[in-house]
């Protein structure tokens, strides 16, 4: 987590983990752990996903328009 925090800080962002409840179309529910990168002080996630790679790839795409 320390490396993730440092990587987010280099982009001027924060990284955190959020717990969520996911529901399927069939009505099944389950706990989900989402990784988030964005502005924690405003509780605004620029990108979120199941893996840090996915989250940082999306945040980088949004920031740099790649």
Q: What is the pLDDT of residue 1?
A: 92
pLDDT band at 66 (very low <50, low <70, confident <90, very high): low
What is the residue extent of each domain of the chain?
2-61
- CA pair distance 26, 9, nearest whole angstrom: 40
Q: What is the pLDDT of residues 6-65, one digit of tens each?
A: 999 999 999 999 998 888 888 888 898 999 999 989 989 999 999 999 999 999 999 998
pLDDT at res. 26: 84
Q: Which pLDDT score, from 0 to 100, does residue 45 have?
A: 94
Cα dihedral 28, 29, 30, 34, rounded to 10, equals 120
Q: 36 with 18: CB under 8 angstroms?
A: yes
- The DSSP bridge partners found for residue 18 are 34
């Amino acid at each position: 987590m320390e490396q993730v925090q440092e990587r987010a800080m280099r982009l001027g962002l924060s990284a955190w983990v959020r717990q969520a409840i996911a529901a399927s179309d069939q009505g099944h529910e389950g706990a989900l752990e989402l990784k988030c990168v964005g502005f924690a002080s405003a509780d605004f996630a620029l990108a979120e996903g199941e893996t840090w790679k996915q989250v940082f790839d999306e945040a980088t795409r949004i920031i740099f328009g790649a």
